[in-house]
């Protein structure tokens, strides 16, 4: 039809300009995070420049040895991993029932899950901290896992429903005819067929817990139980100029996740496009 060959037409040129501006706007903060983490203090504070005179891993050394950053990383892994495991198992059962069966209270349960999903932590952190204190779970990672279920469970149930719905009912009925139980059909037919969905939900749940800060701030008071966001938060409030080690921590806690997203984004976009993943 119209020009799509030869010299770029004005529309194509405009597209190119937009893409370049967007690329710079997205990359500059990421570049600044990485490059600050690799700078010596004098290249950050005394003679700042866009490109440092010396590239150093000293900030990482300070962070990991002097600030013991491996402890919060480990705590974050522990909490996020446990939350993901529990959420995905319980949510699979619930989502399966909601998608496949017409039962009493189905509408009500669906609505409850959705409401819970949309109820923000900022409304819940005060009562949750009182409840956890009463249960003797204040300032424990177990308590943190429990309160993280407030957002992860509704999220995974809600997302899994859309993945389960895409599994053809016929395959499952065939499995039932072949003598499998309902749970057998769920485990051996529905779950394998929704594997990409499960992976996406697991990643969303994991990152949700990995990124959470407000509830952790309220619940955790011991240094040794801090999660990664907490450790970095307290780094800013310390008295020495922390930008180098702070950005080293930012790189360590985000780059693995960003690579994961970049690789898995094809599966993730489906869930995101359901209009339902916290941004």
Partner 1 sequence: MTDPTASADRPRRRPGLTGERRLSAFALLLVAPAVLLVVGLVAYPFLFSIWISFTDRVIGGGGAFIGFDNFRYLSGQAILGSAARNTIVIVVVTGILKLAIGLGLALVVNQHIPGRGFLRAFLMLPWAMPAFVAFLTWRVLYQPIGGGFNLILTQTGLYPQVIDWLGQRPTAMPSVIAASVWRGFPFWFVSILAALQTIPRDLYEAAKVDGATRWQQFWTVTVPGIRHVVIVTALLSSIWTANAFEHVWLLTQGGPSDATMVFPVLAYLGMQTQRIGEAAAVSVVMLPVLAILVILATALLQRDDDR
Site for partner 1 in 22-81 (CB under 8 A): 22-23, 25-26, 28-30, 32-33, 36, 44-45, 48-50
Residue in this structure with the two tokens 């059962």, named with its chain if needed? 93
Q: Is 130 in the site for partner 1 (CB under 8 A)?
A: yes
Show Cβ contacts of residue 216 under 8 Å, excluding neighbours closer than 6 positions.
144, 226, 227, 229, 230
Show Cβ contacts of residue 204 under 8 Å, excluding neighbours closer than 6 positions.
155, 156, 159, 268, 271, 277
Q: Residues 114, 158: contact at Cβ < 8 Å?
A: yes
Structure tokens at 263: 């690789």
Question: According to CB under 8 A, which one of 69, 96, 204, 206 is a site residue for partner 1?
Answer: 96
Q: Is 269 in the site for partner 1 (CB under 8 A)?
A: yes
Structure tokens at 182: 């309902």
Q: Is 94 in the site for partner 1 (CB under 8 A)?
A: yes
Q: Which is nearer to partner 1, 62 or 131 (CB)?
A: 131
Site string for partner 1, 172-211 (x = CB under 8 A): -xx-xxxx--x------------------------x--xx
Q: How many CB atoms lie within 10 A of CB 129?
A: 17
Q: Is 6 in the site for partner 1 (CB under 8 A)?
A: no
Q: Is 139 in the site for partner 1 (CB under 8 A)?
A: no
The span from the CA of 80 to the CA of 149, in Å, is: 10
Least distance (Å) from partner 1 to the CB of residue 197? Answer: 15
Q: Is 127 in the site for partner 1 (CB under 8 A)?
A: yes
* C-alpha distance from residue 205 to each of 14, 103, 145, 195 (Å): 38, 28, 12, 15
Site for partner 1 in 228-247 (CB under 8 A): 229, 232-233, 236, 241, 243, 246-247
Question: According to CB under 8 A, which one of 5, 6, 66, 122 is a site residue for partner 1?
Answer: 122
Show Cβ contacts of residue 9 under 8 Å, excluding neighbours closer than 6 positions.
2, 3
Least distance (Å) from partner 1 to the CB of residue 85? Answer: 13
């Amino acid at each position: 039809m119209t020009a799509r060959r030869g010299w770029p037409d004005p529309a194509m040129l405009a597209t190119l300009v937009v893409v370049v501006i967007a690329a710079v706007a997205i990359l500059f903060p990421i570049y600044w995070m990485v490059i600050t983490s690799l700078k010596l203090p004098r290249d950050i504070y005394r003679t700042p420049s866009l490109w440092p005179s010396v590239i150093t891993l000293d900030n990482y050394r300070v962070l990991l040895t002097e600030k013991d950053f491996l402890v919060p990383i480990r705590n974050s892994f522990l909490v996020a991993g446990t939350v993901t495991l529990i959420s995905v198992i319980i949510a699979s059962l619930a989502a399966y029932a909601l998608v496949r069966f017409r039962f009493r209270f189905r509408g009500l349960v669906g609505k409850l899950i959705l409401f819970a999903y949309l109820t923000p932590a900022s409304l819940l952190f005060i009562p949750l901290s009182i409840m956890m204190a009463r249960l003797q779970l204040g300032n424990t990672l177990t308590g943190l896992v429990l309160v993280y279920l407030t957002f992860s469970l509704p999220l995974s149930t809600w997302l899994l429903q859309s993945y389960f719905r895409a599994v053809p009912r016929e395959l499952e009925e065939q499995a039932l005819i072949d003598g499998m139980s309902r749970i057998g059909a769920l485990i051996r037919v529905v779950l394998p067929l929704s594997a990409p969905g499960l992976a996406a939900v697991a990643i969303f749940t994991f990152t949700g817990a990995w990124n959470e800060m407000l509830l952790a701030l309220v619940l955790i008071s011991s240094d040794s139980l801090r999660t990664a966001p907490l450790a970095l938060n307290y780094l800013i409030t310390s008295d020495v100029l922390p930008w180098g080690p702070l950005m080293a921590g930012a790189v360590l806690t985000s780059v693995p996740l960003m690579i994961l997203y970049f690789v898995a984004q094809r599966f993730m976009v489906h869930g995101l496009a359901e209009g339902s993943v916290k941004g």
